[in-house]
Amino acid sequence: AQSVTQLGSHVSVSEGALVLLRCNYSSSVPPYLFWYVQYPNQGLQLLLKYTSAATLVKGINGFEAEFKKSETSFHLTKPSAHMSDAAEYFCAVNRAAGNKLTFGGGTRVLVKP
Amino acid sequence: AAGVIQSPRHLIKEKRETATLKCYPIPRHDTVYWYQQGPGQDPQFLISFYEKMQSDKGSIPDRFSAQQFSDYHSELNMSSLELGDSALYFCASTLLQDRGADTQYFGPGTRLTVL
């Protein structure tokens, strides 16, 4: 079955520091991969997605992610954290033959001043 | 830009009651998905519809049913509510063009509390 694993349910970073959120997928075929952000009491907003066009994907709010097939990873990074980045981040996978998103457990990011 | 609309935003019900959640997709989107997010959990896929036909089914209890109407809005009907049904219910929509790669746009969710 298609799945994603997010390493670390909580991440604390200082304002201005690098944000690194880890996501590994299990798939027998190249998947479609997504990163969503959820602010408190809000819906999920797409940050970026990988659809095989390019391995380095740039998204909104300065985030980017790199698809590494050899490592089955799709880690999310941002060079400099901002207080507004405090939220929960979900990695998700979608097979080409199916529509439903399967989410990882989520990583809650805390940004310290 | 228009977004996915869900109503109501909050709903409080007693055990064994019924609830109906509504979802209005982004205009011209033909596919709707329902997800359930329990407290501290990741969203879990329930069911999806494409052009008013059920297209995929996940871990949706038999007490729940859903449909998509001619105007593409969707309703999730929940009967014999249990305490464990308390969760945030998300609707997402997309225009199906590149199966699997299409972005799902999420609504703000309906928070259901069962007492």
Q: What's the rounded mean pLDDT across residues B56-75?
A: 94
Is the pLDDT assigned to residue A96 strictly greater than 60? no
Give A50's contacts (C-beta < 8 A, 6+ positions apart): A32, A33, A34, A57, A65, A67, A74
What is the overall mean pLDDT for chain B?
93
Inter-chain residue contact B43 with A99, CB threshold 8 Å: no
Phi-psi region of A84 (alpha: psi -120 to 50; beta: other; left: phi over 0): alpha
Which residues of chain A neighbour B7 with C-beta distances below 8 Å?
none
B85-96 pLDDT per residue, tens: 999 999 999 998
For A42, the closest of B35, B104, B108 (CB atoms) is B108
Chain A residue nearest residue B41, CA to CA: A105
- Tell me which chain A residues have a C-beta less than 8 angstroms from the C-beta of B101: 32, 49, 51, 94, 96
Among all residues of chain B, which has the CA nearest to that of A101?
Answer: B45
Interface check for A99 against chain B (CB to CB < 8 A): the answer is: yes
* Alpha carbon of B41: minimum distance to chain A alpha carbons (Å): 7
Average pLDDT over every residue of A82-90: 96
| Whether A49 and B106 lie within 8 Å, measured CB to CB | no
| Interior/surface letters A11-50, b for 16+ CB within 10 angstroms, e for the rest | bebeeeeebebbbbbebeeebbbbbbbbeeeebbebbbbb
Taking 80 as the threshold, does the pLDDT of residue A1 lie above it?
Answer: no
What pLDDT, in 10s, does the model give residues A27-66? 766 678 999 999 988 889 999 999 877 889 999 999 999 9
Q: Which amino acid is at A95?
A: R
User: What was the pLDDT predicted at B90?
Assistant: 95
